[in-house]
Amino acid sequence: MNKALIVNIYIEHPIMQLNSTFSYYYQDKRKIERGMRVKVDFNGQRIVGFVDSTFEVGDLEKYQLQLGYQLKPIEEVIDREPIINDELYDLGLWMSRQTISPIISCFQSMLPSTLKPVSSAKRAVMENWVKIINKEVKQMYGFEDDEVLLKDFKEKVSDYHYRKLKNHGHIEVEKKEKRIEVEKFKVYDAPYNLTKQQKQAIETINNTNNNVILLHGLTGSGKTEIYLQLAKQACLKDKQVLVLVPEISLTSQMVNRFKDRFNSIAIYHSGLSAQEKYQQYTLVKEGKVKIVVGTRSAIFMPFKDIGLIVLDEEHDSSYKQDSTPKYNTRDIAIKRSETHNCKLILGSATPTLESYARAIKDVYKLVTLDKRINQDLPKSYLVDMSKEIRKGNYIISSPLLKAIEERLEKKQQVILLLNRRGYTPIVKCSSCSYVVMCPHCDVALSYHKDDDKLVCHVCGYSQSNDLTCPKCANKMWRNYGVGTQRLTEEIQKLFPQARIVRMDADSTRKKDAHSKILNSFEKQKYDILIGTQMISKGLDFPNVTLVGIFNADGPLHRTDYRSVETTFDLIVQASGRSGRSSNPGEVYVQAYDINHYGIRLAVKQDYITFFNNEMSYRHAGKYPPYTFMAAIMFVGKDDETIKDKAFAASDYFRNDSSIRVLGPSRLLKIKGEYRYRIIIKSKDKKQLIEKLWLWYEAQSINKRQLSVQIDVDPYILD
């Protein structure tokens, strides 16, 4: 009998046309399991696939006759054991269904690049090990273990005897992944006592039957200490802990807080090299570390037994993946907490409206911290910039200028937030007012003085600043607006003795730049920190007593339905960096639209009133959390082709009375491609997803002409 194992695999190409399993046969003795990688011939190409399922047939020839075609063999089994465990494999299948994404793209998002299912994947660092077959050799040279590192073996055995032992089969040499040694896990005592509110919060979290807890706490109310206490409880039960932060800039401070309490933790974020990511991934997989602190991608770490998940700053848009699969980290965290039956803490001073709405309906457990630990909330002042401009104060208002001067005299520190990088956002011809645009996008180029270049902040295109106006041949240009580079220059002119550091996407390109800047500022090597939104949340500097927010109402003018919410969040979060220790803090919010409810309530830090106001607008517009929503983007080089596809999709969904359709709307051209988008809404998420799958699977899409991008529960709709 010609027995064989039939192996069904997902191949490495993440496209919907190949979003199903393909069958191969295998007749070797080595075991194959779900989640392992194999190499196969697919249409003449040698590619990598993931094993989905297997079954045995007694007669391969007879089975192939029944199929009506010949199967190809598995050419190579790459892994000795599954690199995606059963939990993560099932999670990948669930993600695919929920995000309308190819299954293989979900698997790819879970793995460090050294393990991704592509044939060009880098190899892990390997070491040569000697396996001692003959026990007499072990006794003769005094080795304690049956396996010894080759370099350690050769310290006791000459090259001549090494070759002789190998040739006679007394030893075998094989390559193994480099082992990572870690310290034995230790827990250190807390340096101070918990407040009454913190104790009550921990007690409530431990006693509730609800696994998802929304921890709504003012900035500086001690949420991180609650995370630490709950993490200690989980670790003492021999369970693992995952702590997520939205940005790399927040990782270093959170890591330092956890290292003060636990001696061994893993760190995982996009700033690590491929090899560093693989090492951290392996430590977790082997159970050598109990605690992981990381950004969005750390949600897929291969934990064996999770006891606690923390999603700090749960409102942050960075938790939403903006490429396929377009998942929300919060949804993945909820799914994993269900699987491991562990607590998930969603922490924020400004929770998303969706999360707070679920909490007051008892879908989540609501726990509130409404008092700061060391100090009252900072005093906040709203500055009307329309009046300041009449006084000639175009960039910095006189009240903020005076406040900075006072802080510098007291040797206290200042944070200045402007959520716009570069020197100036717009460059115009001084004669005809022509605006320099990106040749690939419908976006104005920004001037960057550091490089003396004009840069597109969307596609990265750059060009020389020495240019002639294509309309009138004029060579004189004017810069309009203010970015972080110009603000830094202006502040340095006003305070020449001040030590100033800038933190934005341009100043943090190098490895570890975030942590170096923040550590230096924490050690008071700088007086003023100027930056974009990456400095607005989660940071704790005891000597900062003043925060200035520039162009605070700028985000209100975005076309996104969350624009007021994100503006409110930014002001409240940035304000919370001031006065976190014994010295009282102040905040100056510079804006033009000072009567907007989002601005006024943010200055008052009145979340509840803001929530009620904003929910009434969401209800009127039938936006989340009152409906579920999906955005379908059509992207391509030919405007008419894209538009026709978008209108056809719009007509399809309009035929369903349970679905509301907005659009198609033409968006800005990006990277030389036209974009149209439709938005569909439904009160039933399950029905919405089913309708999307029915439509998408029926499409015949020529990838050379266009791409279709689906975003279920989109976070930003600019």
Q: Record the tokens describing residue 555, joined without a space.
A: 């985000």
Report, as an integer, the average pLDDT of 189-218: 93
Long-range contact set of residues 454-461: C-beta below 8 Å, sequence gap at least 24: 454/427, 455/422, 457/421, 457/422, 458/670, 458/671, 459/670, 459/671
Beta partners for residue 455, in sequence order: 446, 462
Quick check: 66 pLDDT over 60? Answer: yes
Percentage, residues of the chain above pLDDT 90: 67
Q: Please state, in angstroms and rounded to a whole number, the distance separating the CA atoms of residues 168 and 147.
A: 17
**Can you give the pLDDT at residue 46?**
92
Average pLDDT value for residue range 513-539:
92
Sequential DSSP letters for 75-115: -EE--SS-SS-HHHHHHHHHHHHHHT--HHHHHHHHS-GGG
Q: What are phi and psi of 84, to 5 degrees?
A: -120, 115
Cα distances (Å, whole numbers) of residue 630 to 286, 294, 408, 557, 633: 38, 28, 49, 22, 10
Which of the four pLDDT bands, split at 50, 70 and 90, describes residue 186? low
What tens digit of pLDDT does each residue of 276-325 get? 888 889 889 988 899 999 999 999 999 999 999 999 999 999 999 999 99
Write phi, then psi, for 692 (nearest 5 degrees): -65, -45
pLDDT digits (tens, 9 = 90+) for 688-697: 999 999 999 8
Contacts of 717 (CB under 8 A, 6+ apart): 559, 560, 561, 562, 631, 679
Mean pLDDT, range 662-686, rounded to an integer: 94
Average pLDDT of the segment spanning 577-603 = 94
List the structure tokens of 563: 């624009």
- State the pLDDT at residue 373: 87
Residue 183 pLDDT grade (very low, low, confident, very high; cuts 50, 70, 90): low
Residue 104: pLDDT over 70: yes
d(CA 642, CA 679): 16
Q: Are strands 462-464 and 544-549 parallel, antiparallel or unpaired?
A: unpaired
pLDDT in tens, 497-512: 999 999 998 888 888 8
What backbone torsions phi and psi does residue 21 show, to the nearest 5 degrees? -85, 155
Cα dihedral 639/644/649/650 (nearest 10):
90
The model's confidence at residue 119, banded by pLDDT at 50, 70 and 90, is very low
119 three-class SS? coil
What is the pLDDT averaged over residues 368-386? 92
Greater confidence, 130 or 654?
654
pLDDT for 665 beyond 90: yes
Of 615 and 465, the one with more pLDDT:
615
For residue 411, pLDDT over 70 is answered with yes
Mean pLDDT of 608-621: 96
Q: What pLDDT is attached to residue 118?
A: 52
Of 8-12, 159-163, 436-440, where does mean pLDDT reach its minimum? 159-163
Residue 124 has pLDDT above 60, yes or no: no
Give me the pLDDT at residue 51, please: 97
Which residue has tokens 């046309």?
A: 17
Query: For the packed helices 685-697 and 639-654, what is the interaxial angle rounded to 10 degrees?
Result: 130
Cα 300 from Cα 539, distance rounded (Å): 25
Provide the total of helices (H) and of strands (E) in the chain, helices listed first.
21, 30
* pLDDT confidence of residue 484: 94
pLDDT at 122: 45
User: What tens digit of pLDDT does each residue of 615-652 get?
Assistant: 999 999 999 999 999 999 999 999 999 999 999 999 99
What is the tens place of the pLDDT at every residue in 126-178?
Answer: 678 888 888 888 888 888 788 888 888 888 888 888 888 888 888 888 876 66
- The closest alpha carbon to 123, from 176, 76, 167, belongs to 176
26 vs 13, 62, 86, 265, 354, CA distance in Å?
22, 15, 22, 41, 49
User: Strand pairing of 291-294 and 212-217?
Assistant: unpaired
| Mean pLDDT over each residue of the chain, to the nearest integer | 91
Average pLDDT over residues 250-271: 85
φ/ψ (deg, to 5) at 114: -65, -15
